[in-house]
Structure 1
């Protein structure tokens, strides 16, 4: 298999690998940011994690569940990891980037997310690549991009299945995006009040 940077983001595996790298980069950016810039960097990380996981839950995991010999076991473990990560993201949002416990908890999340990404990269992605034609991988990339464009921008623990995302996702997305616009307009998060 060629290196991810040599592949186009029009391929679902390359797209997701690229996003995993961006997530890793954003963890470092949040950790290294000064207090004045940390909240904005965390917002970008939180948003990418939320939309990325939603798209995987809608497009990738149902496919992997069917393709892998132990698909139910692998995907159920993946969804459990995603639930745990969403719970920590909510905790970090509520804690705030200036809290004393924020950076240690962020580091715990980083380790868990990197472990999760490694599982996907080793278990699901090779299976997708070998099972599908280039045109199918490109179609899946388009589907992931579409799902991300409509995905909630904040974590919603308990919404890890494709069915739950389809039922709850549109409402959560509408509320999340309204919350984001309002927070940006007033220059802080609503929970700061």
Structure 2
């Protein structure tokens, strides 16, 4: 979280980080606390990333990219599906027979989303925006991730205004719960 650079560099770095986590999950043979810790780590990163994109990236896409409303709506729908999977994983015991198939589904959803953003959305945004705007968006994304929730809240509003208003408070509660439980400390 917080890699530096413009919005595209920042988000691509997040994507590589999550891909590395998925790789660690795939090679993991156990189903105990080590798997729970890694699933929690992936969840934290994906939730923060999604909230930041919904607050700043997709409004910029709507404003600056031709056909941006359609593109942003599609990406937000991708996030909704991922968040629903994350919520199920959060409530699931690591020995549950459905955990591995659900993790595979999550990886497929995230991989498809990442490919779409990197192959289509990011190049369009780069062509439509100035370097200064992309740098400013990178700063905003980093700030948003630092205050974002760390747990999935699939029923939370996804509009940028609602997210900017509610996410810091929800994020504070999530981080307090994480601190008390030790979640995300691995």
TM-score normalised by length of structure 1: 0.86
Select the residue among 163, 172, 175 that pairs with 1:174. 172
Please say if 1:61 is aligned against 2:67: no
Structure 1 moving runs of 4+ over 6 Å: none
Does the aligned pair in 1 maintain the 2:64–2:129 contact within 8 Å? no
More contact order relative to length (CA 8 Å, sep ≥ 6)? 2
More displaced, 174-183 or 154-163?
154-163
Does the aligned pair in 2 maintain the 1:26–1:41 contact within 8 Å? yes
Per-residue CA shift, 1:110-169, capped at 9, x if unaligned?
101111111211232112211222222222111111000000001111332212212321
The gaps in structure 1 that reach 5 residues or longer are 1-7, 188-193
Does the aligned pair in 1 maintain the 2:150–2:175 contact within 8 Å? yes
Per-residue CA shift, 1:79-127, capped at 9, x if unaligned?
1110111011000110132322101111011101111111211232112
TM-score normalised by length of structure 2: 0.89
SS at 2:182 equivalent: helix
Instruction: Tell me the C-alpha RMSD between the 2 structures.
Output: 1.8
Does the aligned pair in 1 maintain the 2:65–2:128 contact within 8 Å? no
Counterparts of residues 64-83 of structure 1 (less than 5 Å) = 64-83=61-80
Q: Name the residue aligned to 2:45.
A: 48
Work out the number of aligned pairs and report it: 179
